[in-house]
Structure 1
Amino acid sequence: MERSAEQVRENYKRITDRIGEAMAKYRKPEEQVQLMAVTKTVDPALVNVAVECGVRLLGENRVQEYESKKAQYDPRAQVQFIGQLQTNKVKYLIPEISMIQSVDSLHLANEVERIAARADKVQDILLEVNIGGEESKGGIPAEELHGLLEEAARKPHLHVCGLMTIPPKTDVEKYFFRMQKLFIDISAENMDNIDMHVLSMGMSGDYVEAIKYGSTLVRIGSALFGARG
């Protein structure tokens, strides 16, 4: 545990240094990017080491895993859901999860609205975009995004805060550029109940490139905690 904890501390320092360098190189001084620790398969004790270092956002991929670990997390960090989500699992996330990043269909949006209304909560969400059109990944096709935005905006217990994506591993900058353009274009429309302030993109292997193209939130797992066993 001690050795692993020290590795997390060292990794955190390395990651935050790289984020700082990327922000200085590519972004305006007043802009910020948040570091999310992705906790999939990570022991809560190690997750809490990251929180002690300064991480204030945790990203959960699996509902069942979250249920088994949530009581052990340092309460200084918010927990958000970033994995593919089945409608029958939404009830386990609301009202505890601060944001659901992976809403990618009207069917799912309707269920989040229903459960949030029952909990008397306005649920922050991101719409996940399948920017590369990959069949193996979740997310709504970019050309269908506007319709889902309009539907979600009508729901009183949903608050759309931005977009999320997992791009293809090749030509990643091309897809980050497309997401940045999509994000900017939607922001310019000033749609009611659509608050475009979060662009969640960039993971352990490509977060510097994501920052170059306007990411406001990077989701880091293996680079922080080590490769999964």
Structure 2
Amino acid sequence: MNIAENIKKYRDQLPDTVDLVAISKTKPNEDLMEAYEVGQRIFGENKIQEMTDKWEALPKDIEWHMVGHVQRNKVKYMAPYVGLIHAVDSLKLLKEINKQAKKHDRVIRCLLQIKIAEEDSKFGISAGEAEEILQSETYKTFENVAVVGLMGMATHTDNDEKVAEEFDYLHSVFKDFRVKYPAIKELSMGMSGDYKIAVKHGSTMVRIGSSIFGARNYN
């Protein structure tokens, strides 16, 4: 698995308007450095402890994205450095992120995760619930957190039409929100298996892991 070549391949394929988030969970620092050496600067992790260890050890111009489900009691560990939190699904979580960001005099950018897949295993909220958060008086008081976009995961299926339908729906929600809330600029959708469909449907950020780094080792 040639990591540098894979990064270059995706760079060539993706439009300039789409950011590549290299999902590096379970991968050793050497693998991340291989991607770093060819210019990759955005890395995504799904465990806060692992991401923090990597942040401490690796170059400081890396932008770290938290792409997994976030437990409120762990926010404090990533508050000093995290660049973007993809999977925010409640006002309570935003409140905690705001509280911890304030301690470090930072504004932490977040995406609201909209549930577009049918599987019960997928987290997320409805478009209506996302709107309630953005319109709430509580959210408007937060000074150290900013919702800058939406994120979604399509159903895990070989049916491309279904995936396209789900991405198309999320893109329509995104367009509607962008008109109402000027801060909304990012749409994180698309992974190794469906990123081409996601890009076609307006994604501004794709999350690619195994196609760059190879199969994950969870041992």
1:223 counterpart residue number = 211
Equivalent AA in structure 1 for residue 78 of structure 2: L
Report the Cα distance in structure 2 between the residues aligned to 1:157 and 1:9, rounded to whole angstroms. 36
Aligned to 1:159, which of 138, 143, 146?
Answer: 146
Match of 2:191 among 200, 203, 213: 203
Q: CA deviation at 1:109?
A: 1.1
Does the 8 Å CA contact 1:121/1:157 hold for their aligned counterparts? yes
The aligned counterpart of 2:77 is 92
CA distance in 1, matches of 2:4, 2:101: 36
Listed as ranges, the matches of 1:60-209 within 5 Å are: 60-151=45-136, 152-170=139-157, 171-189=162-180, 191=181, 195-209=183-197
* Gapped regions of structure 2 (runs ≥ 5): none
1:154, 1:146 → 2: CA distance?
Answer: 16
Please give the alpha-carbon distance, in whole angstroms, between the structure 1 residues aligned to 2:74 and 2:29. 22
Q: Deviations over 1:138-159 (max 9, x none)?
A: 2112331110222334422211
Residue aligned with 1:117, SS: helix
2:9 to 9, 14, 18: 14
- What percent identity do the matched residue pairs reach? 38
Distance apart, 1:98 and its partner CA = 1.3
- Any idea what SS the aligned residue of 1:46 has? helix
Give the Å deviation of 1:133: 4.7
Q: Distance in 2 between matches of 1:128 and 1:154?
A: 21
The alpha-carbon deviation at position 46 of structure 1 amounts to: 0.8
**8 Å Cα contact 1:36/1:218 also seen in 2:** yes
Gaps of 5+ in 1: 24-30
Q: 2:178 is aligned with what amino acid?
A: S
Hey, what's the Cα distance between the residues in 1 that align with 2:140 and 2:190? 26
How far the C-alpha of 1:42 sits from its partner, in A, is 0.7
**C-alpha separation between the residues in 1 aligned to 2:210 and 2:184?**
28
Instruction: Give me the whole-angstrom Cα distance separating, in 1, the residues matched to 2:117 and 2:53.
Output: 33
- TM-score where L is the length of structure 1: 0.86
Q: TM-score, normalised by structure 2?
A: 0.90
Q: C-alpha offsets along residues 169-220 of structure 1, whole Å, 9 cap, x if unaligned?
A: 231111110110000001111x3xx511111111111111111011111111
Q: State the match for 1:28 in structure 2.
A: none
- Post-superposition offset of 1:71: 2.0
Measure the CA separation in 1 of the matches of 2:12 and 2:110: 29
Contact 1:133–1:141 (8 Å) recurs in 2: no
CA distance in 2, matches of 1:153, 1:51: 37
- Distance in 2 (CA, whole Å) between partners of 1:78 and 1:118 is 20
CA positional deviation for 1:13? 2.4
Match of 1:212 in 2: 200
Q: How many residues are matched?
A: 211
- The question of whether the paired residues in 2 share the 8 Å contact of 1:202 and 1:215 is answered with yes
